[in-house]
């Protein structure tokens, strides 16, 4: 089963998978929530840049954007050393592929991740180079749920592979040389001991007070980004939708057809697909948007199509007699729309508009896919670093606190209009 790195911990803890095999380093914090076999590979981090880049090492990354994998050892190291090297921003991606794509595009200056994966990835790519090894003393191990009985049998197999040399043969196959005699690839080691604070209770797994206290500042930072993105998307989406609606209703025939085409297209394209196109494809045409601007642009463009249809239905619901009365009073077309039609139309479509605003606010969570540090992104990062799902549970509660009152209000509005109708 192929699962993103930051999802491995929750998958193991919920028993969706029995064993996680990836570039997973053993840390004391992770030992509080999961168990590990004996290590089988010593791994450090590395800095990868474009071959023609001015960046030759970590010292050149001052005020630059650095890419890492969400919740990885590289993420932890970069976060702990951001002040030392004065990184301008740490941008977190869901794996090597999107991080490398942004590096090639030029949106990030360097990528910090596990050295074996990057050496293998870059060996046939002359435009990308690993320029510096970052010593972290990391050791790869297989991860299992707490007290999983498989750990003993798996550990015996790892020991056997080390003793008969087959583990070293794998090292030669993939890295072109034998492992160091003192490395964990050769040396038989003990199973890492679980932390003394290890607790098997359900509450400590999903509602861990200590993890919440440690990670809530990250969640609050993400919440502010989510609110900012949501409010700006709603306001601009409403304005864009109203412009589209009025253009479609009262514009020339070509404009009317163009608006219909636009609305049909963007109501058909999934927002996530459009967001990925905007963020990763637009740079090849010379348009490089930041994660926030890419998310804002995508939300406005797509939500505007839906808002347009809502406004159109409200305007068309106004009786023709209202238009005729305005003309009889000598009102201009502009005053007719502003003073007579739109106030009545808005009153009709308030429930639909509010419902769509809620959908836009929920859709902001999709922005995490383009490395925007919104509430969901910060929660997944905190969950991966702490190896505990508590941050995700807290994020879900925050979304509920924000959205549930709005949903109840919309339901009340709909009931009020139904009773009046």
Model confidence pLDDT, tens digit, residues 114-130: 988 888 888 889 999 99
Is the predicted pLDDT of residue 419 greater than 70, yes or no? no
Mean pLDDT of 212-241: 95
Please give the structure tokens belonging to residue 225: 């980004």
Environment class of 28 (CB within 10 Å of its CB; exposed 0-12, middle 13-18, buried 19+): exposed
Structure confidence at residue 53 as a pLDDT band (50, 70, 90): very high
CB 375 within 8 A of CB 196: no
Helices (H), 190-319: 202-206, 209-250, 253-268, 271-276, 291-316
Is the predicted pLDDT of residue 150 greater than 70, yes or no? yes
CB 24 within 8 A of CB 18: no
Is the predicted pLDDT of residue 416 greater than 80, yes or no? no
Is the predicted pLDDT of residue 332 greater than 90, yes or no? no
Specify the pTM.
0.84
Please give the structure tokens belonging to residue 86: 């004065």
Q: Which residue has the higher pLDDT, 149 or 203?
A: 149
Q: What is the pLDDT of residue 370?
A: 93
Is the predicted pLDDT of residue 178 greater than 70, yes or no? yes
What are the two backbone dihedrals, phi and then psi, of residue 287, each rounded to the nearest 5 degrees? -110, 105
Q: What is the pLDDT of residue 361?
A: 95
- Taking the C-alpha atoms of residue 300 and residue 293, their distance in angstroms, rounded to an integer, is 10
Q: What is the pLDDT of residue 114?
A: 92
Query: pLDDT tens, 60-107?
Result: 999 999 999 988 899 999 999 999 999 999 999 988 889 999 999 999
Which of 203, 142, 150 shows the shortest CA–CA distance to 8? Answer: 142
CB 347 within 8 A of CB 353: no
* Ordered domains of the chain (ranges, CATH): 5-197 (3.40.190.10), 213-420 (1.10.3720.10)
Mean pLDDT of 135-164: 92
Is the predicted pLDDT of residue 296 greater than 90, yes or no? yes
Is the predicted pLDDT of residue 158 greater than 90, yes or no? yes
What's the N-to-C CA distance of the chain in angstroms?
Answer: 53
Task: Tell whether the torsion through CA atoms of 51, 54, 59 and 65 is positive or negative.
Answer: negative
Please give the structure tokens belonging to residue 85: 């090297």
Q: What is the pLDDT of residue 185?
A: 94
Q: What is the pLDDT of residue 195?
A: 62
Is the predicted pLDDT of residue 320 greater than 90, yes or no? no
Q: How far is CA 39 from the centre of its chain?
A: 30
Structure confidence at residue 51 as a pLDDT band (50, 70, 90): very high
Upper half-sphere CA count for residue 292 (Cβ side, 13 Å): 13
Mean pLDDT of 342-369: 91
Q: What is the pLDDT of residue 340?
A: 87
Per-residue DSSP letter, 338: I
Q: What is the pLDDT of residue 196?
A: 57
């Amino acid at each position: 089963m192929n699962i993103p790195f930051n999802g491995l911990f929750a998958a193991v803890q919920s028993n969706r998978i029995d064993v996680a095999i990836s570039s997973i380093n053993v840390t004391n914090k992770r030992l509080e929530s999961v168990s590990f076999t004996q290590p089988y590979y010593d791994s450090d981090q590395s800095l990868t840049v474009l071959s023609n880049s001015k960046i030759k090492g970590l010292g050149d990354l001052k005020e630059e954007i650095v890419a890492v994998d969400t919740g990885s050892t590289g993420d932890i190291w970069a976060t702990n050393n951001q002040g030392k090297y004065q990184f301008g921003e740490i941008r977190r991606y869901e794996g090597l592929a999107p991080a490398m794509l942004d590096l090639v595009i030029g949106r990030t200056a360097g990528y910090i991740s596990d050295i074996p994966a990057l050496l293998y990835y870059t060996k046939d790519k002359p435009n990308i180079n690993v320029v510096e090894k970052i010593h972290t003393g990391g050791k790869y191990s297989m991860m299992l749920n707490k007290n999983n009985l498989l750990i003993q049998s798996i550990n015996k197999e790892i020991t056997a592979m080390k003793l008969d040399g087959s583990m070293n043969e794998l090292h030669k196959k993939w890295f072109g040389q034998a492992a160091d005699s003192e490395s964990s690839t050769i040396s038989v080691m003990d199973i890492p001991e679980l932390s003394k604070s290890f607790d098997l209770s359900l509450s400590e797994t999903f509602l861990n007070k200590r993890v919440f206290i440690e990670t809530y500042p990250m969640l609050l930072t993400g919440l502010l980004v989510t609110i900012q993105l949501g409010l700006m998307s709603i306001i601009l989406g409403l304005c864009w939708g109203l412009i589209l609606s009025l253009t479609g209703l009262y514009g020339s025939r070509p404009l009317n057809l163009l608006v219909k085409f636009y609305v049909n297209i963007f109501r058909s394209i999934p927002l996530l697909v459009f967001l990925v196109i905007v963020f990763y494809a637009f740079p090849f045409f010379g348009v490089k948007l930041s994660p926030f601007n890419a998310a804002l642009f995508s939300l406005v463009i797509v939500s505007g199509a839906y808002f347009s249809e809502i406004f159109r239905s409200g305007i068309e619901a106004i009786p023709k007699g209202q238009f005729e009365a305005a003309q009889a009073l000598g009102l201009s077309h502009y005053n007719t729309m502003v003073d007579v039609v739109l106030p009545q139309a808005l009153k009709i479509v308030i429930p639909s508009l509010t419902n769509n605003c809620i959908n836009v606010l929920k859709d902001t969570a999709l922005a995490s896919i383009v490395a925007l540090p919104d509430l969901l992104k910060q929660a997944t990062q905190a969950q991966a670093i702490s190896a505990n799902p508590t941050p995700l549970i807290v994020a879900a509660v925050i979304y509920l606190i924000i959205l549930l009152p709005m949903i109840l209000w919309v339901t009340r509005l709909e009931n009020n209009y139904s009773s009046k109708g």
